[in-house]
């Protein structure tokens, strides 16, 4: 089916049709800011588009108003946006940067995805371990352990004095990384969100109000970067270490 554009509440939205004659139901999904309509035929696709215009508008506006760390073929990394390319290679997996393109060499698309996650996770572990220890010393507290993993929130601090941080933290601008860690370290002093807690946060991160608001504009949802069918070759320099 052809690519089209529809107007929804003043927004021109690109639509990609995918025809699957064997499926029973039609469904919609956004890939980046393109609306993909999967249906048995064009008529069914048009009916579902007409029926769900408010859903389309809501999700499109959410996409345009947030900064996504992962798109279908790019990531926000080290304060810059990088287009992602996957090269099928049987050598040891590695990731190179050439300008604003990050090329990942790996035996499979799945292996390339895992390598990207490992690089991001290790960057986060390095930063959080050092920065949290420094901030804890500033206010005379200590933590038991720091865990970096996939997490629905940016961070959390438990009464056991364990801090958990979203592994994608290092993809954010450095000042937002510092705010998130300062916030969790402050909980070691005040295990609540009282006025005293925010006073501790302010002592660690004076611009916390501005940064807290800015953090809400980032979407950390993990999206697939590479298709197993689209391996390509690009020049590469500056190897990234895991």
pLDDT tens-digit series, residues 74-88: 999 877 889 999 999
Distance CA 72, CA 223 (A): 6
Residue 3's pLDDT band, with cuts at 50, 70 and 90, is: low
Distance CA 125, CA 169 (A): 9
Of 39-43, 151-155, 233-237, the one with minimum mean pLDDT is 233-237
Residue 234's pLDDT band, with cuts at 50, 70 and 90, is: very low
pTM, full prediction = 0.76
pLDDT tens-digit series, residues 48-102: 888 888 888 887 777 776 888 998 789 998 778 899 999 999 889 999 999 999 9
Identify the structural domains of the chain with CATH numbers, from first to last. 3-65 (no CATH), 84-242 (3.30.2010.10)
Residue 110's pLDDT band, with cuts at 50, 70 and 90, is: very high
Q: Which two tokens stand for residue 220?
A: 């950390």
What are the backbone angles phi and psi of residue 157, rounded to the nearest 5°?
Answer: -130, 125
**For all residues of the chain together, what is the average pLDDT?**
87
DSSP result, the chain: --EEEEEETTEEEEEEEEE-TT-SS-EEEEETTEEEEEESSHHHHHHHHHHTHHHHHHHHHHHHHSEESB-SSEEEETTEEEEEEEEE-SSPPEEEEETTEEEEEESSHHHHHHHHHHHHHHHHHHHHHHHHHHHHHHTT---SEEEEE--SSSEEE-TTSEEEEEGGGGGS-HHHHHHHHHHHHHTTT-SS-SHHHHHHHHHH-TTHHHHHHHHTTEE--------TT--------SEEP-
- Residue 236: the pLDDT is 36
């Amino acid at each position: 089916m052809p690519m089209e554009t529809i107007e929804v509440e003043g927004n021109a939205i690109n639509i990609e049709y995918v025809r699957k004659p064997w499926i029973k139901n039609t469904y919609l999904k956004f890939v980046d800011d393109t609306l993909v309509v999967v249906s048995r035929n064009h008529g069914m696709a048009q009916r579902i588009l007409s029926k769900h215009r408010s859903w389309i508008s809501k999700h499109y506006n959410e996409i345009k108003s947030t900064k996504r760390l992962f798109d279908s073929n790019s990531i926000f990394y080290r304060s810059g946006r990088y287009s992602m390319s996957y090269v099928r290679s049987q050598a040891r997996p590695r990731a190179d940067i050439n300008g604003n393109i990050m090329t990942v060499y790996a035996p499979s698309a799945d292996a390339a995805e895992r390598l990207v996650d490992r690089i991001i996770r290790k960057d986060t572990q390095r930063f959080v371990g050092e920065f949290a220890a420094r901030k804890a010393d500033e206010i005379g507290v200590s933590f038991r352990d720091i865990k970096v993993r996939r997490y629905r929130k940016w961070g959390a601090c438990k009464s056991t004095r364990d801090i958990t941080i979203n592994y994608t933290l290092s993809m954010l601008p450095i000042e937002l990384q510092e705010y998130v860690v300062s916030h969790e370290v402050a909980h070691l002093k005040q295990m609540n969100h009282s006025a005293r807690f925010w006073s501790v946060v302010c002592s660690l991160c004076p611009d916390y109000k501005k940064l807290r608001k800015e953090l809400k504009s980032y979407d950390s949802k993990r999206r697939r970067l590479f298709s197993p069918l689209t391996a390509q070759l690009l020049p590469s320099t500056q190897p990234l270490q895991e």
